[in-house]
């Protein structure tokens, strides 16, 4: 039996490997996979096995999985292609006789209007129908999603968004990775769905304050209307589809869809989640 970490060359996957090792998993029990194994070659120096696994190439998935393995299916970053890619992994895992799949999903994927949710909902439905034992981790927002705002604020002295007074219960990517490691190692999480988020839901004035502490100069939050935000993003050179996506996501935040503080993440990892200012500073 091995712990299979998909997308280990990505930011979350790499941290999951780190968290497994930190929690005492034998390096030889971990198989880190990626489309391009040269990007994870350094893991071999730590005793971790590496293997090719490409969500778009079913033959690589089948070759990487074995009976009794516990697999973390890190959701693909290929928006619009996630469902067939995730389905390929689930189907291969079922055929191989894996013991369990841990899937990184989205908040309330089955009953939310969050713009990111539909592909995750479809994946969850396929996973449940597959008959493969599962643990679903509905990851909330990553603090690191706002690291780009630090550089912008250095130039402009402000944070702009069309979120109104909406709040975000973010946590550091490391927190979510540790939760995935816990779920991989703990068979009692089988059949469970966890709504993961930070312990505190901050607003964008607090984001501006946190950034000010990092750069050492004042930063303010300027609220935009959705129309103003779209105009601003278009001026930055973003294409129409990206502009629509970002504005819609800010609308989701404005509506409170990323503000839940369930406490599941802190309970799962056994410690408080990383505060906003600390997580932002660590990501610089």
User: Which value, to the nearest 10 degrees, does the dihedral of the CA atoms of residues 76, 77, 81, 85 take?
Assistant: -20
Q: What is the mean pLDDT of the chain?
A: 97
- Read off the pLDDT of each residue in 275-284 and give the average, rounded to a whole number: 97
pLDDT tens for each residue of 246-259 = 999 999 999 999 99
Would strands 3-5 and 70-73 be described as parallel, antiparallel, or unpaired?
A: parallel
- In this prediction, residue 63 has a pLDDT band, given cuts at 50, 70 and 90, of very high
pLDDT bracket for residue 19 (50, 70, 90): very high
- Phi and psi at 51, nearest 5°, equal -155, 155
CA distance linking residue 164 with residue 226, whole number of Å: 10
136-153 pLDDT, tens digit per residue, is 999 999 999 999 999 999
pLDDT (average), residues 233-241: 96
Please count the CA atoms within 13 angstroms of the CA of 210 that sit on its side-chain side.
Answer: 22
Q: How confident is the model at residue 135 (pLDDT cuts 50, 70, 90)?
A: very high
- Amino acid 44: pLDDT: 92
Q: Cβ atoms within 10 A of the Cβ of 267, count? A: 13
* Mean pLDDT of the 157-164 span: 98
- What is the rounded CA–CA span in Å between residue 241 and residue 79? 12
Give the model's confidence band at 10: pLDDT under 50 very low, under 70 low, under 90 confident, else very high. very high
Instruction: State the pLDDT confidence band at 3, using cuts at 50, 70 and 90.
Output: very high
Taken in order of first residue, the domains within the chain and their CATH numbers are 3-139 (3.40.50.720)
Query: Using 50, 70 and 90 to split pLDDT, how confident is the model at 215?
Result: very high
């Amino acid at each position: 039996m091995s712990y299979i970490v998909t997308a280990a060359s990505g930011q979350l996957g790499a941290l999951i490997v780190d968290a497994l090792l930190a929690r005492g998993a034998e390096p030889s029990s971990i198989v880190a996979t990626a489309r391009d194994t040269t990007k994870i070659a350094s893991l071999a120096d730590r005793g971790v096995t590496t293997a090719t696994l490409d969500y778009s190439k079913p033959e690589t998935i089948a070759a990487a999985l074995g009976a009794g393995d516990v697999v973390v299916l890190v959701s693909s970053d290929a928006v619009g292609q996630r469902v067939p890619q995730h389905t390929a992994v689930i189907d291969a895992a079922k055929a191989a006789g894996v013991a369990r799949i841990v899937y990184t999903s989205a908040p309330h994927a089955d009953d939310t209007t969050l713009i990111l949710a539909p592909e995750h909902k479809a994946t969850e439905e396929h996973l449940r129908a597959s008959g493969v034992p599962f643990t679903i981790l509905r990851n909330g927002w990553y603090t690191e999603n706002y690291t780009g705002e630090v550089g912008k604020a250095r130039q402009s002295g402000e944070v702009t968004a069309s979120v109104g007074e909406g709040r975000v219960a973010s946590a550091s990517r490391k927190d979510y990775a540790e939760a995935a490691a816990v779920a991989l190692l703990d068979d009692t999480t089988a059949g469970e769905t966890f709504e993961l988020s930070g312990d505190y839901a901050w607003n964008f004035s607090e984001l501006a304050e946190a950034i000010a502490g990092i750069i050492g100069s004042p930063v303010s939050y300027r609220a935009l209307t959705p129309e103003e935000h779209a105009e601003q993003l278009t001026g930055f050179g973003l294409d129409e589809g990206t502009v629509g996506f970002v504005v819609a996501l800010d609308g989701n935040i404005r509506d409170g869809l990323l503000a839940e503080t369930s406490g599941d993440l802190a309970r799962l990892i056994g410690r408080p989640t990383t505060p906003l200012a600390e997580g932002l500073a660590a990501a610089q």
